[in-house]
Amino acid sequence: MTALIVTSSTWPTGEPGAEELDRSLAARGMDARWVCWDDSAVDWAAADLVAVRSPAVVKPRIGAGGAGVLVVDDPADPRLGQEFRDHPELPTARGPWIVQPLVESVRTEGRPSVFVLDGRAISELEVTEPGL
C-alpha cells in the first residue's frame, strides 16, 4: 500500500518525532512518504492512502468541555508553548500538551475519547458537544 503523508514546507520530512511514524508504517508494510500539500509534482491519484497531518489541535493532557484547546495550522505559531486563558471563568491552560490532527467533524458531530493507562486502552466514550 502506498501512503502519502501530507505536511507543509516547514516540515518536509515530517514534524519532530516523524521517524516513529515512518518506522511504524514501514513495519506494517506501507510504502509511505512525506509530501508538501502545495507540491504540484505530487501524483495524488497514485496513492492508496493520503493522510493529512495538519492543522492540529494543541490541548492540555487533561481538559473538559474544550477548555484549553488551541487550534493552529503553523508550527511557528507564537501561542504554542505559552500559558493562555481561553475563557474568563476557566483556569489558565498550562502544559504538558497533546498535539493531534484536527478532524473538522469534531465541531459538528462530536468525537470519541479514549483513555489509555500503561499503554492499554481502558475506556472509550463518545463526546457529543458540537461546536467545540
Contact 4, 68 (CB under 8 A): no
Q: What is the pLDDT of residue 42?
A: 93
Q: Say what the pLDDT of residue 53 is.
A: 66
The whole model's pTM is what?
0.43
Look at residue 51 in the predicted model and tell me its pLDDT: 83
Give dist(CA 49, CA 70) in Å, integer. Answer: 28
Q: Are the CB atoms for 5 and 35 separated by under 8 Å? A: yes
- 3 state DSSP class of 83: coil
| Averaged pLDDT in 10-residue chunks for the chain of 132 residues | 85 81 89 89 90 60 62 78 74 69 73 71 68 46
The pLDDT assigned to 33 comes to 92
Residue in the structure block whose three cell numbers are 503523508: 5
